[in-house]
Structure 1
């Protein structure tokens, strides 16, 4: 379940209470008149079954609560309440399949914001990928996959396309179009310095064996990107962070960017071009898969309540 807190002006009190009272998936409703100071108003809280949250939020937004007051949500790990249990049973659908759009939008918006931290992670990931190329180390390349923060903007772009949120789409695209080039430019400068110091040569790029999968682009590359993108979006919806780590290790976005820079600096334009194509395939594949998952995600439980186990 999710814990809902509403701060509502006094003139909307009864309307908010009616929304919550009439929703079968709402339990443990509490009302604190006049306790809110900024903004002024009442505090109304309730435990809400995940399956009902979208409808409740939609009705509250129709009252303009998000502008005149506030709406907050947070997950409840353990709820020992017969009333809450009955509310979950009365809700149509299954909590495991419930997609709370406002929760997903907030999460992807945060992960796709172009901040200094985001840029630093992108730069570090690209540098790790370059080192992986120079040393022909698959372990280092995997490290770059895990460190790279690019899945956040890609997931946000998929959400923005499905929900038609232009602002979120612009934010996600800006993070990618600024973050990746900046990381690649810095990696290029470092590669130039390493080449001048004799730390890396063209032969290092031509003779890689452990990490040559980065620039070997083909139909399988798209399949992997689609599967990883689908798994990543499902992990966001279900909050399965362990699955998300697996997604990072499955795709070669930042490693491909790093390899493209290193190869271009050293003069191997064939490898640079194929690495860039690998990068593009992964970016597009992840977004397409994310959109498909969100469009096809079940709105209702696939198993009727009457036959679900207790």
Structure 2
């Protein structure tokens, strides 16, 4: 269930209440006239089944409530109410399958913004991965994958393509490119430093690395795994099952490939640098492709499901 808290101008409150009452899957409607001060207006609250949330929020935006008032949405972890149970039963589909496009756009907007924190996490992850590739340590590679925040901008690009939001696409692309360029440049300097203090050596980089050699040897398995991870990551975002993102992060070779390219560049090993760069680009492309197709499929099937539900109601 979702909880909606609205601030509505007095002249729009009746329209909002009628909209909520006719939306299947809503309950616990409450109106507090004149309670809001900034902006001035009435406070309207209700609970709505997640599968009916996107339709209701879209209709509220058509009434310009987001411009002349406010729309706040919260997830309800626990609701002990027969009315809530009935609302969820009446709402079309399953909550886990519903996509809240406004929530997805807002989340990807935040995660795809180029900030100091985002760059810092990516730089740290790449340096950890650099240690992993030189030492041929799979644990460090997995740790670096988990730390890397690059899925946010990738999800932003997918969402921007489906929602036709060029500003979000540009913001996500800038965050992705600038983040990786900065991370790789810093890691080159980090590699020089580690070599100077005898912690890195070219011999370690060129040695057989059974645990980490895959990061500069792209193949079809790399592409397939990245596609599957991209689909899983997108599903985890749209269904609010964020725990799956950790599995996605440690399934794709983005940060380790960037790290290996940086370390190899510091030793003028252009073969590994190019191979790692190919691995990085292949994974990024596969994730974007899979994420975009997953969102398009969700949008298509959910729209058809809602249309069938409306048709059944009209016939009934």
Cross-structure match for 1:121: 121
Mapped to 2, the partners of 1:267 and 1:204 lie a distance apart of: 14
Q: Give the C-alpha shift of residue 116 in structure 1.
A: 1.2
The SS at the match of 1:241 is coil
TM-score (norm 2): 0.93
Cross-structure match for 1:152: 152
The SS at the match of 1:146 is helix
Cross-structure match for 2:25: 25
CA RMSD of aligned residues (A): 1.6
Q: Give the C-alpha shift of residue 244 in structure 1.
A: 1.1
Cross-structure match for 1:235: 236
Q: Give the C-alpha shift of residue 79 in structure 1.
A: 1.3
**121-130 vs 188-197, which moves further:** 188-197
Confirm or deny: 8 A CA contact 1:8 1:41 kept in the other structure: yes
Q: Give the C-alpha shift of residue 41 in structure 1.
A: 0.5
**164-173 vs 269-278, which moves further:** 164-173
| Equivalence map 1:111-260=2 (5 Å) | 111-207=111-207, 208-260=209-261
Q: Give the C-alpha shift of residue 205 in structure 1.
A: 1.2
Mapped to 1, the partners of 2:167 and 2:216 lie a distance apart of: 33
**28-37 vs 52-61, which moves further:** 52-61
Confirm or deny: 8 A CA contact 1:202 1:268 kept in the other structure: no
Cross-structure match for 1:307: none
2:244 equivalent to 1:261: no
Q: Give the C-alpha shift of residue 56 in structure 1.
A: 0.8
Cross-structure match for 1:55: 55
Confirm or deny: 8 A CA contact 1:3 1:47 kept in the other structure: yes
Per-residue CA deviations over 1:242-270 (Å, capped at 9, x if unaligned) read 21111111001011001001011101111
Q: Give the C-alpha shift of residue 241 in structure 1.
A: 2.6
Confirm or deny: 8 A CA contact 1:234 1:293 kept in the other structure: yes
Confirm or deny: 8 A CA contact 1:261 1:272 kept in the other structure: yes
2:95 equivalent to 1:95: yes
Cross-structure match for 2:313: none
Confirm or deny: 8 A CA contact 1:24 1:87 kept in the other structure: yes
Cross-structure match for 2:284: 283
Per-residue CA deviations over 1:216-262 (Å, capped at 9, x if unaligned) read 20111110100000011111112223211111110010110010010
**196-205 vs 104-113, which moves further:** 196-205
Cross-structure match for 2:43: 43
Paired residues in the alignment total: 304
Unpaired runs of 5+ in structure 1?
A: 305-310
Cross-structure match for 1:80: 80
Q: Give the C-alpha shift of residue 57 in structure 1.
A: 1.1
Q: Give the C-alpha shift of residue 209 in structure 1.
A: 2.5
Q: Give the C-alpha shift of residue 196 in structure 1.
A: 3.0
TM-score (norm 1): 0.95
2:4 equivalent to 1:4: yes
**201-210 vs 23-32, which moves further:** 201-210
The SS at the match of 2:250 is helix
